[in-house]
Amino acid sequence: MLRTTPTGGAARGTAGGDRLVSIGSVLSQLRDEFPDVTISKIRFLESEGLVEPQRTASGYRKFSPEDVERLAQVLRMQRDHYLPLKVIREQLDALARGERPAPRHPGAGDPYDPGAECDRPTAARVGRSELLAAAEVSEDELAVWESYGLITPAADGGYDAQSVTVAKLLAHMGRFGLEPRHLRAMKAAADREAGLVEQVVAPLRRHRNPQTRAHAEATTKELADLSVRLHAALVQTALGVRLC
Is 12 within a domain?
no
Of 178, 193, 225, the residue that ends a domain is: 178
Is 201 within a domain?
yes
Give tens-digit pLDDT for 120-165. 333 467 889 888 988 888 999 999 999 999 999 988 888 988 898 8
Is 188 within a domain?
yes
Do 46 and 92 lie in one domain? The reply is: yes
Do 164 and 210 lie in one domain? The reply is: no
Is 150 within a domain?
yes
- Per-residue pLDDT, averaged over 103-127, amounts to 44
- CA–CA gap between residue 116 and residue 122 (Å, rounded): 7
Do 168 and 125 lie in one domain? The reply is: yes
Is 191 within a domain?
yes
**What's the mean pLDDT when you consider all of the chain?**
79
Residue 54 has pLDDT above 90, yes or no: yes
Do 129 and 186 lie in one domain? The reply is: no
Of 156, 178, 200, the residue that ends a domain is: 178
Domain residues for the domain of 237 are: 180-244
- Backbone phi, psi, residue 182, to 5°: -75, -25
How many independent structural domains does the chain possess? 3
Of 136, 153, 178, the residue that ends a domain is: 178
Is 207 within a domain?
yes
Please answer whether residues 215 and 209 qualify as being in contact, where contact means their C-beta atoms are separated by less than 8 angstroms: no
Instruction: Give the whole-number percent of the chain exceeding pLDDT 70.
Output: 81
> Domain containing 174 — which CATH number?
1.10.1660.10
When computed from its CA atoms, the radius of gyration of the chain, rounded to whole angstroms, is 21
Is 8 within a domain?
no
Is 18 within a domain?
no
In a 10 Å sphere around its CB, with 0-12 CB exposed, 13-18 middle and 19+ buried, how is residue 107 labelled?
A: exposed
Task: Find, among 14, 134, 16, 3, the residue nearest to 67 by Cα.
Answer: 3
- Per-residue pLDDT, averaged over 180-194, amounts to 89
Residue 27 is predicted with a pLDDT of: 92
